[in-house]
Amino acid sequence: MHFIHITEFVGWKEETILEYLHVNADETAFDITIPKSSRLFFSDYNDIAIDYLRAAYIGQELSKLTDNFTYTQIDPQTNEHISFVIHNVNLEQLAETLSKIAHGFGTGDGEDALSFNEEVAHFLDQVLENNIAPACPYFIDIYNEFISDIFGADEDEDLDL
């Protein structure tokens, strides 16, 4: 299994990621880790909700690449990173997806970050409208738990992703 921490690819172009995968990825399985910056009792509920919403979106994107997808269900009380495991993927598609995800963990400004946040918001809309089934329902449950604690179950607020 080849281990990838997504923040290693921040600032890399898709072509560079593809070259890296061709040179370094002799495996057919990938363990892709993303950071979780929030922690229950130490973070704002909004930050926890956003961490899990982003994780749900990333899981959704990675699950599109394979029929063999798993993810870790990290408790909000821990400061562990979130891990996704995928098998037998097309390296070109993986490079494109990793590039898109890595841009979401970049400096937080610019078109790439805005595009990533818009895609996350669109994903949430699709889930809430029952247009798609989330690949990581646990993360959506955590998002809903912490978002409802902030705004109340019936309120709809725009969040700064």
**pLDDT tens, residue by residue, 108-134:** 445 555 688 889 999 999 999 999 999
| pLDDT higher than threshold 50 for residue 158 | no
Angle between helices 14-24 and 91-104 (to 10 degrees): 130
Q: Which residues pair with 34 in a beta bridge?
A: 82
| pLDDT higher than threshold 90 for residue 135 | yes
Closest by CA position to 54, among listed 36, 39, 41, 67: 36
| pLDDT higher than threshold 70 for residue 59 | yes
Q: Which residue has the tokens 């070259």?
A: 19
Q: DSSP secondary-structure letter at 52?
A: H
Q: Which residue has the tokens 């993927």?
A: 89
pLDDT of residue 37: 72
pLDDT of residue 78: 83
Q: DSSP secondary-structure letter at 81?
A: P
Helix, strand or coil, per DSSP, at residue 85: strand
Q: DSSP secondary-structure letter at 15?
A: H
CB 112 within 8 A of CB 118: no
| pLDDT higher than threshold 70 for residue 48 | yes
pLDDT of residue 160: 47
Confidence of residue 39 (pLDDT cuts 50, 70, 90): low
pLDDT of residue 54: 93
Mean pLDDT (the chain) is 83
